[in-house]
Structure 1
Amino acid sequence: MLGFATSNVKLIKNSHNPVVTAIHLSNFWETSVKNTHHYRDRQQRVETLEAALSEQLGDNDSQRLCALLKASSSKIYKDQLLGTKQVIAVHTLHHGKINTDLLARILSAPRLTASQLRDRLEAYQLNPGRLSAAMADQPIPDSSGALAGYAALNGQSSGQGESHVIH
């Protein structure tokens, strides 16, 4: 038997037949409660996953990785932590520790998910020489001439864009 207040129940009878033909529960569905929190302590689960990443990568790199995952996917951060932990575990099992240059390049990305991490690690394994070639091709930025090309666009030699268009 369902437990509900009798004030919310309406018995509907047919005038020709005295047997109840339907029961109307006016507020039953509105007051039902669903348990959407499947973990008892959600923060404890996150802390456990962050600690596991710290063991896999070290404190500094794991903190940077966790911050990047949280900034990229804050609503599914816990799932991203779990996926990242699994990706790193599989990579370490098959290929050993993650290359430090590769990890530094991955951590410098503006966004990252567990799937993107997996894809980048797989791409590195297919062609590890590409990373060192890409690192060698990157010029060291010269701050004095970095925006010199833009000076010709606005006619200013300083490149600071002193004249602005009012819309």
Structure 2
Amino acid sequence: MAGEIFTSIHNNYRHRIPAGVSDLVEQPLYIIVATWAMRTNTLLTTEEVSREFLLTQQRATDIIHYIHNEGSKHITSERITLIKNTPKRTRYRALKIINVTPLPKQLLKNIRSTFTSVERQKSERLSKEDFIKNRDKLDTIRKWMCIRKVGEKYSDISEYL
């Protein structure tokens, strides 16, 4: 469909942002989902969120839970129980979104810069040469531990090198 955006977020989950909320691409996914539900006047159910945003059922459930519990600073919602008129009378829980306040741009900038610095720290791993040096040192220490005399101090390791 025209206007849809496919995106991936920091932990490699891909999802779709429907055309009706493509202006909120900078916002966190829970804000986008809540805004979509408010704009389309849709009750949030796991199936609906999963289908519209191309998410797994578990991820959709987590987002709805986050919207109702932790997202209450920015989102006003109401929990509704739906009863499907079948022989089993299946009950579904849904959220009706009443109001959404998007996160301010400055807060988004702070969050993104914090996340970027954490990612940078993760990516600064040992180079291959440093890894081999450290591994060689550990191998030497292991060998020394196996052949050392009782009470011999670590400083005496040089005679085994």
TM-score by length of 1: 0.23
Higher alpha-carbon Rg: 1
Structure with the larger RCO, 1 or 2 (CA within 8 Å, 6+ apart):
2
TM-score, normalization by structure 2? 0.23
Normalized per residue, which structure has more strand?
A: 2
